A = this chain, B = another copy of it.
Amino acid sequence: MTIRDVAQAAGVHVSTVSRAFSASHLVKRETRERVLAIAADLGYRPNETARALTTGRTRNLGLIVSDIANPFYPPLIKAAQAYARVRGYQVFVADTDEDVAVEEELIRTLARQVDGVILVSPRLANDVIGRLGGELPFVLVNRSVAGLSAVLMDVAHGAALAVEHLAGLGHEHLALVGGPRGSWTSAQMRRAAGRAAADQGVRLDVLAPNPPTEHGGIVAAPAVLETGATGVIAYNDLVAIGLIEGFDDRGVRIPRDLSVIGVDDTVAGRLNRPRLTTVAMPTAAAGRTAVDLLIQTVETSGGGPATAQTVLATSLVVRDSTATPAHPAG
């Protein structure tokens, strides 16, 4: 079922059918309606692949994340994909498994088959991202690179809130369990938490890098204990949950002996016992916003690469993993 069949059935030229679908104002109203009706009858749908070849636009988007199974991502993927569909785009989802080489290769592979790519929490170096960004429209999420559009979540503010919460509870010695090398979020947290700790007059020890996983948290637990901190801020909920497990193995109870704060506000943190105090990240909104920004970039080919940065607010969700320190540290 091609455009030719429809043209023949409607008694018009293929170019008229083409216009009926893609430039409806260029064809007489009744012709268009007749063509469309016949097309619907025949079950004709324009072949997107052929369209892509002539127009250079695929109406496909790429969404590259580091780990689909990390509960931080599913809500973002879901929202991005749903919103893209509403806008007439399909999305390729790909997972780098936290591997920088895979990340770059994925981008190159996808490059030709998509109109643009959303990179969530990329681990690639700034210059590499910048260079690739010159070849293909990008929207970054959780990463800021000069000249590229980005959707940022205000994790700096979130980290500050976390420090203030802990300090307000009476904790005088905190530890920050950072994320993987190359993580912009981790760097932001570190800076903001450091500043907030200074403001509050509390001590802050930083432990990094760590894998952004539950296992990463379990492994980091002993080192955290060694610092003597009574309040801990983890890179994300998964790490926080891992830390709590690690502490538990050593007889350290949360929040009795230690307070722990996660980041992301995933289901995992909500289900965990004790329920996790965490910095809420607006992941679904980030997914939608990223798609919106990307489509805008792609469809505004005329105006040059209009880059935009959107910052989404974060907040602190206080639950059961934080409390007043039992043995005020010195």
Contacts and interface: CB of A to CB of B under 8 A. Distances in A.
B48 A77 contact: no
Contacts of A92: 60, 90-93
A95 B113 contact: no
A113 B94 contact: no
Contacts of A97: 82
Interface string A242-279: 00000000000000000000000001100111000000
Nearest to A102: B85
A67 interface: yes
Interface string A92-110: 1111010000000010111
A90 B113 contact: yes
Interface string A102-145: 00001011111100000000000000000000000000000000
B49 A78 contact: no
A85 B108 CA distance: 13
A170 B241 CA distance: 34
A102 to B, nearest CB: 9
The residue among A49, A77, A85 with the most chain B CB atoms within 10 A of its own CB is: A49
Contacts of A82: 95, 97
- As for how many copies of this chain the complex holds, the number is 2
A47 B58 CA distance: 12
A305 interface: no
Q: Report which residue of A60, A95, A271 has the largest number of chain B beta carbons within 10 angstroms of its beta carbon.
A: A271
Interface stretch (A9-17, A68-76, A146-154): A68-76
18 contacts: A49-B52, A49-B112, A50-B53, A53-B53, A68-B74, A68-B78, A71-B71, A73-B74, A74-B74, A77-B93, A85-B94, A90-B92, A90-B109, A90-B113, A241-B271, A268-B268, A268-B271, A271-B273
B45 A53 contact: no
Contacts of A77: 68, 93
Contact of A93 (B50, B91, B109): B91
Contacts of A69: 74-75, 78
A138 to B, nearest CB: 18
A48 to B, nearest CB: 5
A81 interface: yes
B45 A49 contact: no
A45 B267 CA distance: 41
A91 B109 CA distance: 12
A94 B50 CA distance: 22
A73 B75 CA distance: 12
A108 B46 CA distance: 12
A142 to B, nearest CB: 18
Contact of A112 (B47, B53, B60, B272): B47
A77 B91 CA distance: 13
A90 B95 CA distance: 11
Given A69-B74, A82-B97, A273-B273, A49 B90 contact: no
